[in-house]
Structure 1
Amino acid sequence: MTAAFPSWAAFFAMGGYAFYVWLSVAVTLLSLAGLLLHTVLQRRRLIAAVHRREAREARIRASKTVTPAAAASAQESSL
């Protein structure tokens, strides 16, 4: 093993402080996993919102451009 621990059992026992050591390791890893999950989900939501906004802006731009056929039909309906 290493100079600090003569065996694997001693390593896992952590000199009698195993509960506190491994609990803190578990809490730290769970916190990091939660942070990673939150970041991934937030990124997906942000990308989806950007796509929705771009699609909306494209629809608005498309509705503002007047095609010749649409202009002709608008003039006919106003007469």
Structure 2
Amino acid sequence: MWNSPAEFFEMGGYALYVWCSFGVCALVLLLEPMAVRVRHQSIVRRLRREVRAEQFDQESRK
């Protein structure tokens, strides 16, 4: 379809839109697993705090 690498990278005049779209997509694909990991760690910390608080309550009632 393209006669040269320059034509490929120009994308028929839509290069800015096409390459920015690829860039945003790549950024999201890189950031999503990190965001999931941070959220998971946050949930685990909160659950551990809740378990400790529950254990403390049970010990203080005895």
> What is the TM-score of this pair, normalised by structure 2?
0.67
- Residue of 29, 32, 40 corresponding to 2:29: 32
Larger relative CO (CA 8 A, sep 6+): 1 or 2?
A: 2
> What is the TM-score of this pair, normalised by structure 1?
0.57
1:41-78 CA distances to partner (integer Å, 9 max, x unpaired)?
1111111000011011111112223xxxxxxxxxxxxx
Question: Do structure 1's residue 55 and structure 2's residue 52 form an aligned pair?
Answer: yes
Identical positions, percent: 31
Higher Cα radius of gyration: 1
RMSD over aligned CA atoms reads 2.3
| Equivalent residue pairs, number | 62
Unaligned runs of 5+ in 2: none
